[in-house]
Structure 1
């Protein structure tokens, strides 16, 4: 993911899904320890619902 797309993605998480910056920071820290797709990290740690996870993947497909 390019830096610009990554930035837009983080903005989407905050604006559209109401995920707080602190929750995103938690997921990013876990991502460093256990590399994987950020959407799955968010879901595994209970930071997004399955419905939100679907919206995330829809966004990623169209962005």
Structure 2
């Protein structure tokens, strides 16, 4: 089994732990083309996650 990329792991966390809909993540990923590596910030900027969820994402990223 191939190891998951960091981006794939992040998406899995967003969907499984924070219950962010796939459609919201896909929309943010389209915006991410303009702002690479800023998926969590794009989700927050567009109101797709709360500031508390953004903090959870940053906490999760710190443990990676």
TM-score (norm: length of structure 2): 0.86
Ranges in structure 1 where 5+ consecutive residues have no aligned partner: none
Partner in structure 1 of residue 53 of structure 2: 52
Equivalences for residues 1-63 of structure 1 within 5 A: 4-32=5-33, 34-36=34-36, 37-63=38-64
**CA RMSD, Structure 1 to Structure 2 (Å):** 1.2
Superposed structure 1 runs of 4+ greater than 6 Å apart: none
The structure whose residues are more often helix, as a share, is: 1
Ranges in structure 2 where 5+ consecutive residues have no aligned partner: none
Distance in 2 separating the partners of 1:26 and 1:5: 19
